[in-house]
Structures are given as C-alpha cells and as structure tokens.
Amino acid sequence: MKRVLHNVCALLIGCIILETVASQTLNEKLALLLNRDDLLCPEECLFTHQHHYFRDDMECCMCLAQPFWMLNTSNVGQISVSFLQDNTPFVTVNNGTYVEFYNVTLQYGNLSTIPKELCNINGLVYIDFSYNHISVIDAMTCIKSLDTFIFRGNRVRYLKNNVFSGMRYLRVVDLSYNELRNIEPGLFLHVDGSLSFFDVSNNFLENLDISNIIWEKQDYFCVSNFSFNVLRNMTNVMSWRCDIHADLGHGGYTDFTYNNFTYFVDIAEMGFYDITLLGKLYFYSFDFRFNRWMCDCRFFPLLNKSNIANQILGSAHHGLKCHLPPEYKDRFVSEFIKEQDLLICNISFADKCPPNCRCFYQPSRNRTVVTCRSSLISHKLPLVLPDYVNLVIDFSSNRISNLQVEFQRLLSEERTFLIRTKEISFASNIIKDIPDIVFVALNNATKINFMNNLITRIPKSLKTHRPCDVLFGTVNISCGCSDIWLQNWLPSSGHCFNNTRVMCHTSAGLISILDIDKYLIGCSDADSITMWVQICLGICLCCTIVSALIINQFRLEMYILLREYLFTFRQMSNSPPIAYDVYISCNEQDPNLRKWITYTLLSYFKDKRLSVFLPYRDCQPGTPREDEIRETMAKSRNMVIILSEVCDDISKPWLSLELRYAWLNYRNDWRRNIVIINYDLLETKDLSDKYIKAFFRLGKCIDFSNYTKDINPKVISLIRH
Ligand SMILES: *[C@@H]1O[C@H](CO)[C@@H](O)[C@H](O)[C@H]1NC(C)=O
Ligand SMILES: *[C@@H]1O[C@H](CO)[C@@H](O)[C@H](O)[C@H]1NC(C)=O
Ligand SMILES: *[C@@H]1O[C@H](CO)[C@@H](O)[C@H](O)[C@H]1NC(C)=O
Ligand SMILES: *[C@@H]1O[C@H](CO)[C@@H](O)[C@H](O)[C@H]1NC(C)=O
Ligand SMILES: *[C@@H]1O[C@H](CO)[C@@H](O)[C@H](O)[C@H]1NC(C)=O
Ligand SMILES: *[C@@H]1O[C@H](CO)[C@@H](O)[C@H](O)[C@H]1NC(C)=O
Ligand SMILES: *[C@@H]1O[C@H](CO)[C@@H](O)[C@H](O)[C@H]1NC(C)=O
Ligand SMILES: *[C@@H]1O[C@H](CO)[C@@H](O)[C@H](O)[C@H]1NC(C)=O
Ligand SMILES: *[C@@H]1O[C@H](CO)[C@@H](O)[C@H](O)[C@H]1NC(C)=O
Ligand SMILES: *[C@@H]1O[C@H](CO)[C@@H](O)[C@H](O)[C@H]1NC(C)=O
Ligand SMILES: *[C@@H]1O[C@H](CO)[C@@H](O)[C@H](O)[C@H]1NC(C)=O
Ligand SMILES: *[C@@H]1O[C@H](CO)[C@@H](O)[C@H](O)[C@H]1NC(C)=O
C-alpha cells in the first residue's frame, strides 16, 4: 500500500515538474514572440489539443495570457481624474505604497480630451475612459507603457494609422461604440508590439482596407472585431499584393458579422492575384455571417476552389448564408460548391442587354447567355449585345425573316457581337433563305440552330461548319445539282444524324438527299467547256508534278546553293552563342587520321586562332555522349566532317549522329557551315548519307589527294569566321 502511494506521489510530482517546465517554456516562447516578458500563459494552453477552438498553444496564449500585474491588483496604483471649476481634468496619483504600475479609470465622466499629464506617468498600463466624450485619441501615443486601452462609447471618428506606433506593450484596444467612419490604411503596419485584441465593433465603418484586415507584421493576434458596422466593401488603396513567398502568419479571428457586405469582393483586386494565394490565410478565421450576401457570380472564384472555400467559409461557426437573390435567401453559400452553375450575374440594360431580353454571365461555364425568345418586338436583331466573350444567344420565336438585311446591318458595326458568339439559335422564325454571309460571319460558333423555319435553300458556306455544329431539323427543299455537296457533307449516321435531314421533293415524293441519284435531279456530267478547263488543269498538274519531282530530287543541292547565295543578305539570327569555331567529326579509331589531325590540322587552326572541339579529346568523361555532341554542335560555327571508311562498330553510331546534328544545325541557323574533307577518297556511290551526297555532287568537298600541298588553306577558305 505504502509502495503504491509512493509511486503515485512520485508520478504526481513528476507531472507537476514536467508541467511547470513546459509552461515555463510556453511563457518564454510568448516572451520571444512578443518581445516582452510580463505575460503569463495559463496552464490550460498546454492542453490545446483538448481545446476545440485554439489550433495551437500560442494561439491560446495570445488570447488568454495576462500580464502578471493584472493577477494581483495590489501591484497597481490608482490614478484618479478630478475636475477643476472649468471642467479641466486634473490628475492625481495616489501612491500610498510604492508601486510600479498605474491604472486610470474614469467611466461615464465628462472627459472630452485625454489629459496631457498622463504622458508623464511612467508605468501607466491601464486606461479605461469608457463612455466619455472624447473625440481625438492622438494624445495617447505618448503613453509608451500602456497595455490596455478601453475607450468604449466615446466619440472617436477617425483613426490615423500611426496612432499606436511606438507603443510596445499595447495589447488590448477597445474602441467599440464610437463614431468611427474611417480607419487609415496600414494601421497594423504601424503597431510595434503585441496587439492582440482590437475591437471597433458598433461604429460606422463603411469601407475597410485590406491592410487593416491582414496583419502582415504580426504573427499572431486574438480577435479583430469589426462587427456591427456598415461595411460594404473592401479596398486596396496601397495596391498591396500578396507575394508568392509571403508568410501571412497565424492571424487570428476576424469578426465581420452584422455588416452590410453584399457583393463578394474581387479577390484579385485585394492583392491575391491568384486565388490559390488565399491559402496563405489558412490560420485566419473570417466570420462573414449575418451580412446581406448576394449569391451571384462573384462567389464563383472562391467556390470553384472548394478547398479554399471550406477553409474560409466552411468551418463550423462560419455558416455563411445568402440574403439575395430572393430565390436563394437563407441558403448556405457552401451549397453552391456543388451547384456552381447557379452562380450567375444578371446583365442589365445599361450593360447592353437588349430590352425585354434576359442576359446573364455564368462563370462556371465561361459563357454569357442572352435570351431574347419572343421578345424582339421589331422582329429585328439587336445591334449590340453585352461586351462579353462566348455569347450564347437565343433569338428564337421572333418572326425574323430577312437574314440578309439583318446580317448586313450587324456587320456594319465596328465590333459586332457575331465574332464573340459561341452558340446562336434562330429556331422557330420565318426564315426562308439563309444567305452565305451568315455562316461566314458565325465562323466561331459551335452551335447554330435553324430548326422550325421555312428554309428553301441551304447555302454552300455551311460547309465551313461541322455537321454536328448546325441544327436544321428536317428541311424539305427542291433539290438541284448545286445541292449535291450535301451528300458528302451530311453524316449518314451517328449522333448528329438527326441534326439536319434534307429531303428533296421528287415525283416519287420526299426522298432524303442522301439516297437520291444525282442524275435523277438532272445533273449531267461535265459539258465541253468544263472538259477543256479540265484538260488545261490536267496539263498544269503534269507540269507541276514534273517540276516537283525535280525539285524533290535535288532539293538538298538547291537548298545549299540558295543558302550560300542568301547568306550575304541574312545576318545573325538569335541562336545560341557560338563557343567553338570548329567542331571536328572524324573516325577516332583511325590512328593515321588522328595523327594528321593532331599534328597538321590542329596546329594550323591554332595558328589561325580558331577554337576547336575535338570529341575524342574534349568530351567530358561521364557525360552522355549524345548530349554532349548535341550541345557542343549547337555552339559550333563550323562543322568539319572528315569522311573515312569506318569498319568498327564503336564509332559508327557516333559519326552518323554527328552527321545528323550537323545537318540540323546547318539547316536551322544561317551562320553555320559544313566543311567536308574526303579523307579516304570515297566516291558518291560509297556514301550512304543523302546530305553528304548533296555536298559531294556540288563539289563542295575537299579531296585529301593533294594533302601535302594546299589542303589546310583550302579548309580555312571554306570555314566561316
Ligand atoms: C483598474 O481600475 C478599475 C477601477 O478601479 C478596475 O475595475 C480595474 O480592474 C483595474 N484594472 C487593473 C488592471 O488593475
Ligand atoms: C500581491 O502583491 C503584493 C505586493 O507585491 C504581495 O505582498 C501579495 O502577497 C500579493 N498577493 C498575492 C495573492 O499574490
Ligand atoms: C508617486 O509616485 C511617483 C512616481 O511614479 C512619484 O513621482 C511621486 O512623487 C509619488 N507621489 C507621492 C505622493 O508619493
Ligand atoms: C458632467 O457635466 C454635467 C454638466 O455639464 C453635470 O451635470 C454632470 O454632473 C457631470 N458629470 C460628472 C460625472 O461629473
Ligand atoms: C465583437 O463585438 C460584438 C459586439 O460588441 C460582440 O457581440 C462579439 O462577440 C465580438 N466578437 C468577438 C469575436 O469577440
Ligand atoms: C468596392 O471597392 C472596389 C475597389 O476599391 C471598387 O472597385 C468597387 O467599385 C467597390 N464596390 C462597391 C459596390 O462600392
Ligand atoms: C446597412 O444595412 C441596413 C439593413 O441591414 C440598412 O438599413 C442600412 O441602411 C445599410 N447602411 C448602409 C450605409 O448601407
Ligand atoms: C474551376 O476549378 C478547376 C479546378 O480547380 C479549374 O480547372 C477550372 O478551370 C475552374 N473553372 C473556371 C471556369 O475557372
Ligand atoms: C437575375 O434575374 C432574374 C430574373 O430577372 C432573377 O430572378 C434573379 O434573382 C436574378 N439573379 C441575380 C443573381 O441577380
Ligand atoms: C473563357 O473563354 C475565353 C474565350 O474562349 C478564354 O480566353 C478564357 O480563358 C476562358 N476562361 C476560363 C476561365 O476558362
Ligand atoms: C474568331 O475569334 C477570334 C478570336 O477568338 C477572332 O480573332 C476572329 O476574328 C473570329 N473569327 C470570326 C470569323 O469572327
Ligand atoms: C433520328 O430520329 C429518328 C426518329 O425521328 C430515330 O428513329 C432515329 O433513331 C434517330 N437517329 C439517331 C442517330 O439519333
């Protein structure tokens, strides 16, 4: 029994020691974070994993830590404020016993300014002037030791952004129930200490700058309270931009409840030019409930990134609800993650929506819908439509008849909407004839609907569209020779088969044009004029083929000559820089050739101050040879290819590779040159490579036969400097 007790005791003591140590380190961590060492973290912060609303121990400390002097009020002396005859405030310090810290509290007084004498009191940590008549608080900046500033129910109207600057210990600011209308941007950029509670609820704020929402300078805060204002919009007057490498810290709880927010802000305008950057606000909590949210297309960017939306809107206490439009009232915004098509923005008459039509932008489908079904009173097409791309237009049931006139009118507009049209419907009108201009002008459309019209002719320009993109339904026409092309164009089966079915009037009744015999509708074969034309065409074709064959046979030769000729005109292009003057490709297994290169050619090049790359000498061991060949060739001006008989299998692949790259470089860059030295006196028929053959046939090749005499100068003369 005793033993058990002993063990329990030991365990308990162990725990206590452990806890003290741990909580010690928590205070130290806090001191380090805030650069002040008077704050004590409560022990419960050690157990945040049991705490449901703090994500880590520092978040807990930021909200629950208190300065040590607050825990024992006998540490804090009172300062009282009394008034002279003329209501001038008058400060008296009642230090009975000596204390380090002071508290000045005057609620429901007649103070209209902050008494200047307070500046002279060292150790003033606590001011509570709630419910006075003070309208300017700039004087408080001088109270450097202040920790808590309670200023509820005064008449402060404006907050300068440097009002808290230099106040290292400022932790709590309560400016609720004032008359604030504006906070200068950048307030939190000028806070130099450990501000943790900032309360401006119940004021008259209408706009808030992003720099007063994101605390860039401070890693943690507890609550920033903007609730019960009339906030409608966020601004970014300093053009703040979220840097991709920025660390926006752990933030805190930002309360925007009970404001007048209606339209979701443009995230890009707030400096988050890429929506995924919002992920940097992971540790912030924005409470946007109880506003007058309009669930329209402006929510789309956020809701299309549902993970971010869940983070910012989705946690348990963020059940954001729509207020508008009426049909979505009280729906949760997060429901739209699954129904993104419902997030639309209506486009008004002012934004070029035609009268009586309905227009809306639907970002989930990247389109703008214009519905003018039965609503074009004049039976004419509107001249302008909203300035959006990807228009989906419905002009059905409007008794439109003359498209020729309508399209000419539309095309006379400078920026006609026709080029922005993706889908268009003319269904159920009274169109008889479709002019060619229609399909030309609607070149970019992927769906054109002419169902239920009185079509009597199908224009040939329809060919420029795919059969699946057009819908005519069943059209009965009197077919002629000029309609025979439809037999090739119309699909004879498949899912678009029913889009367009052309029926011909014949003596035997209606027959699909696909089944009709062209002789039946009076198409004879070519007449004599067309025959002559065809003969002429045939001759031309023959000539073309013959010359094409010749060109094909000698195309490389022609290319080389042409290039030679053109080089004088064409100067440097922007190809990679030249690192070597000469790249030598040779059979490195041939000792005689190696000797000649080393002792004759190289030393000659050296005299001429040309830099040379010789693969067997300069290749870096270990680098893949192919890569090296490719890279070095790309950097070499001249490629000297020494032809020799290759018997071994080791060099063969490299040589052919070098040949290939040499030609590629030669072709791609006008500065390159190829010089061929026929070392083994090979003949054209011995050569397998067609490029080399071309050089050979043109005689652009140096024979080795005269090697004792002028081969070196000859090489130099061919090399380009
Ligand atoms: C300051 O004084 C007021 C009124 O006497 C008191 O309610 C408050 O707790 C004091 N604050 C501190 C930190 O001592
Ligand atoms: C409060 O502080 C005073 C003076 O520093 C000290 O004498 C007193 O014991 C403290 N009281 C408590 C409850 O810690
Ligand atoms: C009260 O303390 C202040 C220092 O904070 C000192 O200047 C002043 O003389 C003291 N007053 C009395 C009456 O002891
Ligand atoms: C404030 O001033 C008004 C008159 O100006 C006076 O009636 C009232 O008693 C004063 N209140 C205090 C707390 O001094
Ligand atoms: C913000 O202030 C309002 C009104 O003063 C209050 O109801 C709300 O609880 C505060 N929010 C937070 C997170 O403290
Ligand atoms: C909101 O602010 C932005 C940026 O300052 C501005 O472009 C937009 O027009 C404002 N919206 C409203 C409804 O005031
Ligand atoms: C804010 O919204 C309320 C209704 O919730 C409305 O009565 C008030 O006029 C609005 N204020 C502003 C400035 O828009
Ligand atoms: C919606 O998000 C998906 C994936 O994040 C993206 O591929 C798609 O382009 C977005 N849609 C639009 C219209 O922005
Ligand atoms: C758009 O207009 C329609 C009808 O005019 C209306 O029912 C709907 O609520 C509006 N939607 C939005 C988001 O404004
Ligand atoms: C929407 O369509 C336009 C034009 O087709 C295109 O340029 C744009 O990238 C598309 N936007 C999205 C988000 O897909
Ligand atoms: C099709 O759209 C492109 C831009 O997307 C535009 O440049 C072009 O003019 C359009 N074509 C026609 C025939 O309108
Ligand atoms: C076309 O429509 C007819 C009836 O109108 C139907 O029997 C046929 O299956 C349809 N063909 C295709 C390919 O959809």
- Separation between Cα atoms, residue 344 and residue 276, nearest integer Å: 22
Ligand 1 contact via 499 beta carbon (within 6 Å):
no
- Separation between Cα atoms, residue 289 and residue 258, nearest integer Å: 7
Q: Three-state SS string across 223-286, please?
A: EEECCCCCCCEEECCCCCCCCCCCCCCCEEEEECCCCCCCCCCCCCCCCCCCHHHHHHHCCCEE
Helices (H) and strands (E) in the chain, counts: 17, 31
* Pocket mutation for ligand 11, best pick of 410, 411, 419 (most atoms within 8 Å of C-beta): 419
Q: 387: which 2 tokens?
A: 């300035």
pLDDT at 390: 95
pLDDT, tens digit, 9 for 90 and up, residues 588-631:
888 878 888 888 888 888 888 888 888 888 888 777 888 888 88
pLDDT at 526: 52
Ligand 3 contact via 95 beta carbon (within 6 Å):
yes
Tell me: pLDDT of 387 over 50: yes
Among protein residues, the one with the nearest Cα to ligand 1's atom 4 is 105
Q: Is 596 helix (H, G, I), strand (E, B) or coil?
A: helix
pLDDT at 574: 57
Would you state the torsion angle of the CA atoms of residues 689, 695, 701, 704, taken in this order, to the nearest 10 degrees?
Answer: 20
* Residues whose CB is less than 8 angstroms from the CB of residue 189 and which lie 6 or more positions away in sequence, other chains included: 161, 211, 216, 217
pLDDT, tens digit, 9 for 90 and up, residues 625-680:
888 888 888 888 888 888 877 766 777 788 888 888 888 888 877 778 888 888 77
How many angstroms is it from 500 CA to the middle of ligand 12?
11
Tell me: pLDDT of 332 over 70: yes
Among protein residues, the one with the nearest Cα to ligand 8's atom 10 is 304
- Separation between Cα atoms, residue 475 and residue 463, nearest integer Å: 17
Ligand number with the minimum distance to the CA of 262: 6
Q: Are 122 and 143 in contact (CB under 8 A)?
A: no
Arithmetic mean of pLDDT, 185-196: 89
How many angstroms is it from 638 CA to the middle of ligand 11?
46
Tell me: pLDDT of 139 over 70: yes
Tell me: pLDDT of 52 over 70: no
* Number of the ligand 7 atom closest to the C-alpha atom of 292: 5
Tell me: pLDDT of 528 over 70: no
How many angstroms is it from 498 CA to the middle of ligand 12?
6
pLDDT, tens digit, 9 for 90 and up, residues 87-130:
777 787 776 667 889 999 999 988 988 988 888 888 899 999 99
- Separation between Cα atoms, residue 635 and residue 616, nearest integer Å: 17
Ligand 6 contact via 269 beta carbon (within 6 Å):
yes
Ligand 4 contact via 131 beta carbon (within 6 Å):
no
pLDDT at 12: 45
Ligand number with the minimum distance to the CA of 297: 9
Q: Which neighbouring-strand residues pair with 271?
A: none
State the DSSP H helix or E strand holding residue 635, giving kind and residue range, or none if neither: none
Q: Are 184 and 159 in contact (CB under 8 A)?
A: yes
Arithmetic mean of pLDDT, 323-334: 92
pLDDT at 18: 46
What are the CA-CA distances from residue 441 to residues 262, 291, 427 (Å)?
A: 40, 47, 18
Among protein residues, the one with the nearest Cα to ligand 10's atom 14 is 366
Better pLDDT: 720 or 293: 293
Ligand number with the minimum distance to the CA of 66: 1
Radius of gyration of the chain (CA): 43
Among protein residues, the one with the nearest Cα to ligand 10's atom 7 is 389
Structure confidence at residue 80 as a pLDDT band (50, 70, 90): confident
Computed over every residue of the chain, the mean pLDDT equals 85
Q: Are 601 and 607 in contact (CB under 8 A)?
A: no
pLDDT, tens digit, 9 for 90 and up, residues 516-527:
887 777 776 555
Among protein residues, the one with the nearest Cα to ligand 5's atom 10 is 225
pTM comes to 0.70
pLDDT at 48: 65
* Pocket mutation for ligand 10, best pick of 368, 389, 419 (most atoms within 8 Å of C-beta): 389
How many angstroms is it from 336 CA to the middle of ligand 8?
14
Structure confidence at residue 317 as a pLDDT band (50, 70, 90): low
> First and final CA of the chain: distance in angstroms?
102
pLDDT over 70, % of the chain: 90
